[in-house]
């Protein structure tokens, strides 16, 4: 295999100095159009390709960002990731996507990899299993110790001083439950996500707050735990169907679990929304295509992605700026899976 051409060979071919070739490649000094064309022609003739990583290291930035997600197969994260990639691309940055599958050991591995890849910054959605992030044993601790710019998205890290872009999950859980109460429901179940994840915990608190505000008792047998995957929604809804006094409405803390609940209703011949109302959370694209189309709480995924990239680039430019926290409001999307309940 022919050895890669060197910058000296390009210089000789173009009849200029190696320094001139370097200035043309790195645009570090003015070079006349005539000389530039000679250098580019020589590079084409020899098949020379500048070493982008070497140039990045010289310039101190790679224009590459890291994105760490806990479950890239979940449509919510797929859509958030797409929006982050689109925003980064518009601003001239490429992305390295890391999927941790909710495993903190993989999180460790990916954080080390991104540090070694010299990314300029990281957008981070954690697995949720935090130890003390102040110490190096925690993946985030390694990032903080290296002063690598980080923006946390979706899953807050309470007590840690870091830029964050979050949905107002407390408000979202309240809105979902208030909607069902306003429809006349009094036996409202909640299928939660993993309790150690802040988004789910806040949504369940919002569910409780709506009950308290309406003077309704919270029946703890109506709160079933899921894991944000559809199968857990199916299992939780099956348990609710077996209760002596089943609910007339279900608030699932994400759309995938709501799909699991819709599946149980369909297999039990239970009409949605005539006999059971179901509301989800996220507003993934599939929510419009379930049967019936899912009423849900929409997370502002596009804006979350845009703001996360904006905050990260601002942090890259100025590592000493004050920590920014953006809490974005969710919204109720009415479709056909919720309906009135006679008192
Ligand atoms: O669907 C996945 C869930 O986990 C979403 O609700 C999102 O908030 C994430 O935390």
Which pLDDT band holds residue 58 (cuts at 50, 70, 90)?
Answer: low
The closest-lying atom of ligand 1 relative to the alpha carbon of residue 71 is 2
Q: Which residue has the higher pLDDT, 47 or 213?
A: 213
Does residue 74 have its Cβ closer than 6 Å to ligand 1?
A: yes
DSSP assignments along 296-337, one per residue:
EEEP-HHHHHHHHHHHHHHHHH-TTSPP-EEEE--EEE--SS
- Distances in Å between the Cα of 103 and the Cα atoms of 17, 128, 130, 141, 320 are 52, 9, 11, 16, 31
Q: What's the predicted TM-score (pTM) here?
A: 0.83
Kind plus residue range of the DSSP H or E element containing 277: strand 277-282
Range from 80-84, 139-143, 187-191, 225-229 carrying the lowest mean pLDDT: 139-143
How far apart are alpha carbons 173 and 73 in whole angstroms?
A: 24
What is the 254 CA–ligand 1 centroid distance (Å)?
Answer: 6
What is the 203 CA–ligand 1 centroid distance (Å)?
Answer: 11
Which pLDDT band holds residue 267 (cuts at 50, 70, 90)?
Answer: very high
How far apart are alpha carbons 298 and 170 in whole angstroms?
A: 13
Cβ atoms within 10 Å, residue 140: 26
How far apart are alpha carbons 333 and 232 in whole angstroms?
A: 23
Does residue 298 have its Cβ closer than 6 Å to ligand 1?
A: no
What is the 76 CA–ligand 1 centroid distance (Å)?
Answer: 6
Residues 6 or more apart whose CB falls under 8 angstroms from that of 84 comprise 67, 95, 123, 153, 305, 308, 309
Atom 4, ligand 1: which residue's CA is nearest? 228
Does residue 154 have its Cβ closer than 6 Å to ligand 1?
A: yes
Going across the sheet that includes 249-252, the strands are 223-225, 188-192, 249-252, 277-282, 295-298, 331-333
How does pLDDT run across 245-254, given as a tens digit for each residue? 999 999 999 9
- Dihedral sign (CA 14, 19, 21, 24): negative
How does pLDDT run across 161-185, given as a tens digit for each residue? 899 999 999 999 999 999 999 999 9
Does residue 202 have its Cβ closer than 6 Å to ligand 1?
A: no
Does residue 228 have its Cβ closer than 6 Å to ligand 1?
A: yes
Tokens of 13: 């071919």
What is the 91 CA–ligand 1 centroid distance (Å)?
Answer: 27
What is the 327 CA–ligand 1 centroid distance (Å)?
Answer: 15
- Distances in Å between the Cα of 260 and the Cα atoms of 94, 98, 249, 257, 266 are 36, 27, 14, 5, 10
Surface-to-core class of residue 99, CB atoms within 10 Å of its CB (0-12 exposed, 13-18 middle, 19+ buried): middle
Does residue 124 have its Cβ closer than 6 Å to ligand 1?
A: no
Q: What letter would DSSP give residue 100?
A: -
What is the 8 CA–ligand 1 centroid distance (Å)?
Answer: 54
pLDDT, residue 100, reads 95
How far apart are alpha carbons 25 and 254 in whole angstroms?
A: 49
Tokens of 235: 């299992």
Helix ranges (DSSP H) in the chain: 7-14, 18-26, 33-46, 52-59, 75-90, 104-116, 139-145, 169-182, 198-213, 230-241, 255-267, 301-317
pLDDT, residue 134, reads 46
What is the 216 CA–ligand 1 centroid distance (Å)?
Answer: 27
Does residue 207 have its Cβ closer than 6 Å to ligand 1?
A: no
Range from 131-145, 193-207, 208-222, 225-239 carrying the lowest mean pLDDT: 131-145
């Amino acid at each position: 295999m022919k050895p890669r051409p060197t910058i000296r060979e390009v210089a000789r071919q173009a009849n200029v100095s190696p320094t001139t070739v370097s200035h043309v490649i790195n645009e570090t000094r003015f070079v006349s159009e005539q000389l530039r064309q000679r250098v580019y022609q020589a590079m084409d003739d020899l098949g020379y390709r500048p070493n982008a990583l070497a140039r990045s290291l010289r310039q101190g930035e790679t224009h590459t960002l890291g994105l760490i997600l806990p479950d890239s197969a979940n449509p919510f994260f797929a859509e958030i990731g797409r929006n982050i990639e689109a925003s980064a691309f518009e601003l001239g940055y490429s992305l390295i996507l890391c999927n941790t599958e909710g495993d903190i050991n993989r999180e460790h591995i990916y954080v080390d990899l991104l540090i070694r890849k010299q990314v300029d910054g990281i957008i981070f959605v954690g697995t949720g299993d935090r130890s003390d992030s102040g110490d190096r044993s925690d993946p985030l601790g390694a990032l903080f110790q290296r002063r690598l710019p980080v923006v946390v998205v979706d899953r807050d890290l309470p007590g840690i001083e870091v830029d964050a872009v979050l949905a107002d999950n407390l408000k979202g859980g309240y809105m979902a439950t208030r909607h069902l109460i306003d429809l006349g429901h009094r036996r409202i179940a909640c299928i939660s996500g993993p309790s150690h994840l802040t988004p789910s915990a806040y949504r369940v608190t919002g569910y409780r707050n709506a009950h308290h505000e309406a003077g309704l008792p919270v029946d703890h047998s109506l709160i079933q735990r899921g894991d944000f995957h559809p199968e857990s929604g199916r299992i939780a809804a099956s348990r609710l169907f077996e209760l002596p006094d089943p609910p007339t409405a279900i608030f699932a803390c994400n759309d995938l679990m709501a799909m699991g609940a819709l599946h149980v209703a369909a297999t039990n011949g239970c009409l949605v929304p005539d006999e059971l109302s179901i509301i989800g959370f996220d507003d993934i694209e599939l929510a419009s295509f379930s049967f019936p189309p899912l009423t849900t709480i929409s997370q502002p995924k596009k804006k979350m992605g845009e703001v996360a990239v904006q905050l990260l680039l601002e942090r890259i430019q100025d590592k000493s700026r004050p920590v920014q926290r953006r809490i974005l409001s969710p919204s109720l999307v009415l479709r056909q899976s919720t309906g009135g309940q006679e008192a």
